Amino acid sequence: MPETAAKLEAPGALFLAEIRGQPQALLGLLEHEAAYARVAATALERGPTTVRMVGHGSSDNAASYGVYAFGLLPRWTALRDSITLTVHYNSGPDLSGSTVIGLSQSGQTPDVIEYVSRARRAGAFTIALTNDVSSDLAAEAEEVLPLAAGPELSIAATKTYLNQVAALGLLAAHTAGQGRVFAANLRLTADLLEGIIPQLEQQIRIVALPFASTGRMFVIGRGTEFATAREIALKLLETCRIAAEPLTATALAHGPVAALDPLFPVWTIASDDEMLPAVVDAAARVRNADATLVATGNAAEALEGAAYVLPVPKPPSSLLAPLLSVVPGQLFAWALAQARGLDPDHPAGLSKVTLAR
């Protein structure tokens, strides 16, 4: 058997290869910048400045980022909408004045397709954001934007999630007339990502081992980094069987802090932006409870008393920070799954395309 094939059959090899492939995936997305500029121009012409995003799993986590990208750049109202109200209860809001974005790696998720179909019939401007531009979702939407992440063979999404975040930022930037600057900064961020992955791989192998018996964890972020917290928590749930719960930094003080003890670690994402004081305060609460604090993000060093510090570089724009800060969490899930004797490429009970409604 060829050596490369043998390596790819090792548990977690696909997951790791796709984490390593994320810088190239971002560059692949940028090859389609003209399409994003064109769709943004159409959205401006159509006039609806309420953005409704729908998706499941990692796609829904990326939509959490989209709320901030559209809110901070064109200053549009953006939300993760309820599929259930519109599709299953048939009692959703009037979608005629909205831009609707359906997010799906495969483009085959039934209720996302149905939501987009109903929204289009109601007069919404509908956009499919998918890796498969010939999918059913793409056929239902008025416009299709390629994620261009390339084939994703590991069940747990990595590069698709990263490209969804970048794609939503790129679309929002073009609607705000800042697309070229955002694209240039995105290219620089891909270079930063390429440089940090090998170093993080080595650090994470050591950091993960003490957590091999961990059964629960909080993952904390705020603002744009709450999407990161949600995505890292999902990766820990699906690949490591850890009951990981994402929280905003402020939500920790409203009840969850009572659960903390020395056996309850907290993964914390700190970026150098307006949300940093709240994250610093949350970290102090973690320390006061004698819980293990893991500090990540481009402002990780600001969290005093962390047992583990996994910093990432500061990108040229704070809106691009989540593209870097999610990577330590992805690698942690990869290494921790192996430490627990699990295969992160094939989580129990999951398949690549989820067809259940």
Question: Residue 321 to residues 46, 222, 296: CA-CA distances in angstroms?
Answer: 31, 12, 11
- The H or E element that residue 208 is part of is helix 179-208
Q: Please tell me the distance from the alpha carbon of residue 307 to that of residue 275, in angstroms, as a whole number.
A: 22
Of 7, 159, 314, 352, the catalytic one is 352
Give exposure, 241-266, as e/b (b: 16+ Cβ within 10 Å): ebebbbbbbebbeeebbeebeeebbb
Q: Please tell me the distance from the alpha carbon of residue 84 to that of residue 115, in angstroms, as a whole number.
A: 9
**Residue type at 245?**
E
On whether the CB atoms of residues 240 and 340 are closer than 8 A, the answer is yes
What value, to the nearest 5°, has the Cα angle with vertex 54 and ends 63 and 229?
Answer: 30
On whether the CB atoms of residues 168 and 69 are closer than 8 A, the answer is yes
Tokens of 39: 């769709």
On whether the CB atoms of residues 224 and 65 are closer than 8 A, the answer is yes
On whether the CB atoms of residues 329 and 157 are closer than 8 A, the answer is no
Phi, psi of 129, deg, nearest 5: -115, 100
Q: Shortest CA distance to 191 belongs to which of 16, 26, 19?
A: 26
Residue with token string 């650090």: 203
Relative to beta strand 77-80, strand 216-221 is unpaired
> Could you tell me which residues are beta bridge partners of residue 130?
104, 146
- Does 352 qualify as catalytic in the annotation? yes
Q: Shortest CA distance to 18 belongs to which of 345, 349, 357, 356?
A: 345
Indicate the Cα dihedral angle 72, 74, 80, 83, nearest 10°.
180
Q: Which residues are catalytic?
A: 352
